[in-house]
Amino acid sequence: MPKLISRRSAPGLVLAAVLLAATIAAATASARPTRTHASIKACALLPDTKSSTRYTLFDAPYLTAAFRKAGVAATVLNAHADPQKQKSQAQQCLAQGAKVILLDQLDPASGASITNLAVGQGAKVIDYDRLVVHSKASYYVSFDNVKVGKLQGKGLVAALKAKGKYSSHPVIAELNGDIKDNNAKLFKSGYDSILGPLYKSGTFKKATAGDQWTQWDPIKGRQIMDQILARNGNKVDGVLAANDGIGGAAIGILKSKNLKVPVTGQDASIQGLQYVLSGDQCMTVFKNVAQEADAASKLAIALAKGDKAGADALATTTLKDTKANRDIKYVALVPTAITKANIKDVITAGAVTKADLCKGVEALCTAAGI
């Protein structure tokens, strides 16, 4: 005999059925990627404000202006050294409709994860400044990073010769960038190609414990430099510092011990340039960020407009990604070594103003003819 349903129990079953249907619908909706109405076409993801001041002072405003001028809706974000935040920013950009991601990654693992995420959702990725090895990025825009290192090595050698130290077996300390940063490895391969043969021949001597990675952290660089000096009885004749921030940290420790030796740098920061003027830093490497941002934004704009042929015409070089066993289209830019003799070139390029460079060091600028 069929079981009868009372009028009293029927509303409860109907309510249960409605709730079950709603639960299933919600679960189905949550399984799909959330995507808002497309509001942007491109997105630039910058890494931090700590490793270099360039990202705030130059990259962000240059890129923002380029996208605006081209009429391409875009957003420029900084992860403030947080890989998870950078991935969340990428997800946010993709949800807003971005079809091009300009990525300056924080580390290889997060960079690959962001690239896979973007490519999986049909977006093109341009590696910006740092190559994400073994990834699916379509293009790479950067300065010739091995050449940057070679300029640093040659700059240190030239400074030691000028000080009459070259022939007295100078002791050298190397303060490298971040071992997780592919660019830092390329810089090191460049300066080691210059210094390595000199160590091998006995012309130069590497300081005891004098080849260390700093994670691009000036505080850590300062601590390491202090330890190197302690291990070597303050007998260090030159410092290959991977960038101006690390160079400045080394100079601070050297000054505290009344030492002044050639120190290299990179980025042509105001502090680095002022140290070049004062003679505390023998050189820096100028990578015109305006050129890099211009090249990268042109690529991104072409891709955002669906002009792949135009993008390919901009990337005229190829770079071998050995880990991925593939060639990546590459825009290779040329860096410049800056010493006191040509420091005005940075002003001419518009990377820094005379007023900013000379603030507080007016006498040094006058002496240098600036």
Domain ranges of the chain: 42-143+289-333, 145-287+337-367
45-62 mean pLDDT: 89
Q: Do domains 42-143+289-333 and 145-287+337-367 have the same CATH topology?
A: yes
The model's pLDDT over 313-368, given as tens digits with 9 standing for 90+, comes to 999 888 877 666 778 999 999 999 999 999 999 999 999 999 999 999 999 999 99
**pLDDT value of residue 26:** 40
pLDDT tens per residue, range 63-106:
999 999 999 999 999 999 999 999 999 999 999 999 999 999 99
- Phi then psi for residue 341, to 5 deg, are -70, -30
pLDDT over threshold 50, residue 122: yes
Percent of the chain scoring above 90 in pLDDT: 81
Those residues whose C-beta lies under 8 Å from the C-beta of residue 57, and which sit 6 or more positions away, are none
The rounded distance, in Å, linking the Cα atoms of 332 and 338 is: 19
Helix 289-304 vs helix 60-70: crossing angle, to nearest 10: 40
Contact of 144 with 131, CB cutoff 8 Å: no
- pLDDT greater at residue 1 or residue 192: 192
Average pLDDT over residues 11-27: 38
pLDDT tens for each residue of 234-273 = 999 999 999 999 999 999 999 999 999 999 999 999 999 9
- Note the CATH architecture for domain 42-143+289-333: 3-Layer(aba) Sandwich (3.40)
Q: Which amino acid is at 115?
A: T
CATH number of 145-287+337-367: 3.40.50.2300
Q: What is the predicted pLDDT for the residue at 126?
A: 97
**Of the ranges 26-40, 41-55, 207-221, 274-288, which one carries the lowest mean pLDDT score?**
26-40
Collect all residues with Cβ–Cβ distance below 8 Å to 122 and sequence separation of at least 6. 99
So what's the pLDDT on residue 37? 59
Residue 133: pLDDT band (50, 70, 90) is confident
